[in-house]
């Protein structure tokens, strides 16, 4: 679990854990490795043995936000992980100050490209 104990992702893993344990006949242990918007836990799983016993339960941040926001990651989300299932779907909301000169995503991207130096 690449997020802290008690967060939404951790709570979901703890709810489905008993069902996974019953289905597989193996204990499901949630090991929290929080930090860097999930990058620390994801990097830990990437370095783990590819034996099917180590799974990553992560949010969209691990797969699509971190590669954009962080210059170097210990993992490549498109190469290092295979998606097994989607446990939860939740809306993602982008909010901004009403004075910002952007009224939709396309305008926001254009504004950011024009006004923020990389």
Give percent of the chain with pLDDT exceeding 70. Answer: 98
pLDDT in tens, 78-94: 899 988 888 888 887 88
Residue 9 near residue 1, CB atoms below 8 Å: yes
- Residue 86 CA from chain centroid, whole number: 12
Of the pLDDT bands very low, low, confident and very high (cuts 50, 70, 90), residue 28 is confident
Q: Is 62 exposed, middle or buried (0-12, 13-18, 19+ CB in 10 A)?
A: buried
pTM of the model: 0.73
111 touches 101 (CB < 8 A): yes
User: Helix, strand, coil proportions of the chain in percent (round to 5)?
Assistant: 45, 0, 55
Compute the distance between CA of residue 105 and CA of residue 94 in angstroms, rounded to an integer: 9
Position 51 pLDDT exceeds 70 = yes
pLDDT of 115 above 70: yes
> CB neighbours (10 Å) of residue 17?
15
Residue with tokens 């997020």: 3
Q: Do residues 54 and 75 lie in contact, with contact meaning Cβ atoms separated by under 8 Å?
A: no
> Is the pLDDT at 117 greater than 80, yes or no?
no
**Whole-number CA gyration radius for the chain:** 17
The conformation of residue 5, written as its DSSP 8-state character, comes to T
């Amino acid at each position: 679990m690449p997020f802290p104990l008690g967060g939404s992702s951790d709570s979901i893993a703890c709810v489905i854990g008993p069902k996974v344990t019953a289905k597989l006949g193996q204990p499901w242990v949630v090991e929290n490795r929080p930090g860097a918007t999930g990058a620390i836990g994801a990097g830990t799983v990437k370095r783990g043995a590819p034996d099917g016993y180590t799974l990553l339960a992560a949010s969209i941040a691990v797969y699509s936000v971190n590669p954009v926001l962080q210059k170097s990651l210990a993992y490549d989300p498109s190469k290092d992980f295979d998606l097994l299932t989607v446990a939860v779907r939740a809306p993602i909301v982008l909010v901004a100050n009403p004075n910002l000169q952007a009224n939709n995503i396309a305008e926001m991207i254009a504004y950011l490209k024009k006004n923020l130096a990389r």
